[in-house]
């Protein structure tokens, strides 16, 4: 559906996207993650035909965005990172306006019902909640009956409930057979939605695969945390075959290991040596762990850049 080869973009002589190459398959949700300034939005805008000053080659359904923007915009739907609608337009009015741009368009009433906005048809845009505005952005992106939908930081600024409601909305797009390309800096969002993810850092893709493959190929350990009531010290835990490291903070031990194997060894040791542990917590590797490994940035670092 999308092929990008050696894409490079410069601003004032500085490369902000550096020889990026990837492809996106039909019917998948493809996510691009990274901090602000990593190059996500610049990349997606080149693919959408919103930027034409770049080096490299892009094809969207075989269309060159630099040469055939008009043809491209008939087969894609776009939700921009920042959108501004006239507040005094009603929902149905702005939908009719967008529908008038295309020879063929989706039925507005059906779209509004599908995204739970039909009851807001006669409401002014300024009266919509943040989540409702984002749903309206998707409705407007779908009016042209696109084959690919681009969602740029769709859930930024939404509360947790609205964000998770939006995730279900995005999954509906996949169920309809659409290809979805989204950018986000929310790791949980990418992990929940995406078939594959690309991690960007300083204009480069530093990793690209399914999340499961990224986890397995990088050998990222489980983390088992617990409080040792008596008889267990760091040196003892380090003698277990599956343990890679042990940290201790505020009387709590955190062990990097193969969680299943470690718990069996720990249970055996405590039984044989009359020890006790409490508050056991097992954390499996997440996309956040993968992101940190490739970029060196924690989620706190990432949120601080937004």
pLDDT at 284 over 90: no
Whole-prediction pTM value?
A: 0.81
pLDDT of residue 5: 97
Share the mean pLDDT of the chain.
89
pLDDT band at 302 (very low <50, low <70, confident <90, very high): low
- What does the pLDDT average to over 66-85? 85
> What does the pLDDT read at residue 298?
61
Could you tell me if 226 and 279 are in contact, meaning their C-beta atoms sit under 8 angstroms apart?
yes
Class (C level, CATH) for 2-75+147-216: alpha beta
Confidence of residue 202 (pLDDT cuts 50, 70, 90): very high
Superfamily of domain 221-284: YebC, transcriptional regulation domain (3.30.70.980)
List CB contacts of 154: < 8 A, sequence separation 6 or more.
79, 134, 137, 138, 166, 170, 182, 184
Averaged pLDDT, 102-107: 89
The residues of the chain that CATH labels 3.40.50.300 are 2-75+147-216
Instruction: State the pLDDT confidence band at 305, using cuts at 50, 70 and 90.
Output: low
Residue 141: pLDDT above 80? yes
Top mean-pLDDT range of 34-48, 54-68, 153-167, 223-237: 54-68
pLDDT given at position 87:
78
Contact 63, 84 (CB under 8 A): no
Task: Provide the percentage of residues in the chain whose pLDDT is more than 70.
Answer: 96
Q: Which pLDDT does position 82 carry in this prediction?
A: 67
Mean pLDDT across 186-201: 94
> What strands lie across the sheet with 55-60, from one edge to the other?
14-24, 2-11, 55-60
Return d(Cα 34, Cα 247) in angstroms, integer. 28
In this prediction, residue 169 has a pLDDT band, given cuts at 50, 70 and 90, of confident
- pLDDT for the residue 163: 86
Within the chain, which residue ranges are assigned CATH 3.30.70.980?
221-284
pLDDT at 120: 93
Q: Which of 79-88, 141-150, 236-245 has the lowest mean pLDDT?
A: 79-88
């Amino acid at each position: 559906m999308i092929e990008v080869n050696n894409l490079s973009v410069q601003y004032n002589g500085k490369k902000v996207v550096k020889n990026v190459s990837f492809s996106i398959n039909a019917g998948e949700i493809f996510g691009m993650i990274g901090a602000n300034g990593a190059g996500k939005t610049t990349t997606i805008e080149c693919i959408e035909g919103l930027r034409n000053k770049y080096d490299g080659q892009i094809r969207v359904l075989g269309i060159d965005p630099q040469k055939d923007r008009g043809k491209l915009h008939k087969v894609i739907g776009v939700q921009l990172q920042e959108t501004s609608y006239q507040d005094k337009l009603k929902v149905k009015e702005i939908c009719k306006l967008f529908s008038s741009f295309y020879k063929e368009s989706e039925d507005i009433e059906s779209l509004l019902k599908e995204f739970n906005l039909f009851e807001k048809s006669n409401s002014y845009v300024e009266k919509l909640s943040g989540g409702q505005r984002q749903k309206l952005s998707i409705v407007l992106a779908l009016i042209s009956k696109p084959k690919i939908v681009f969602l740029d930081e769709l859930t930024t600024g939404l509360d947790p409930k609205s964000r998770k409601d939006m995730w279900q909305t995005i999954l509906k797009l996949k169920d309809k057979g659409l290809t979805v390309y989204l950018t986000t800096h929310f790791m949980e969002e990418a992990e929940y939605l995406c078939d594959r993810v690309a991690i960007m850092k300083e204009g480069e893709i530093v990793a690209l695969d399914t999340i499961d493959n990224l986890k397995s190929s990088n050998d990222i350990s489980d983390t088992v945390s617990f409080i040792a009531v008596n008889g267990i010290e760091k040196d003892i835990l380090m003698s277990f075959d599956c343990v890679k490291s042990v940290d201790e903070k505020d009387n709590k031990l955190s062990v990097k290991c193969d969680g299943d194997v470690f718990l069996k060894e720990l249970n055996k040791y405590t039984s044989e040596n009359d020890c006790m542990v409490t508050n056991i917590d097992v954390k499996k590797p997440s996309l956040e762990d993968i992101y940190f490994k490739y970029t060196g940035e924690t989620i706190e670092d990432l949120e601080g850049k937004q």
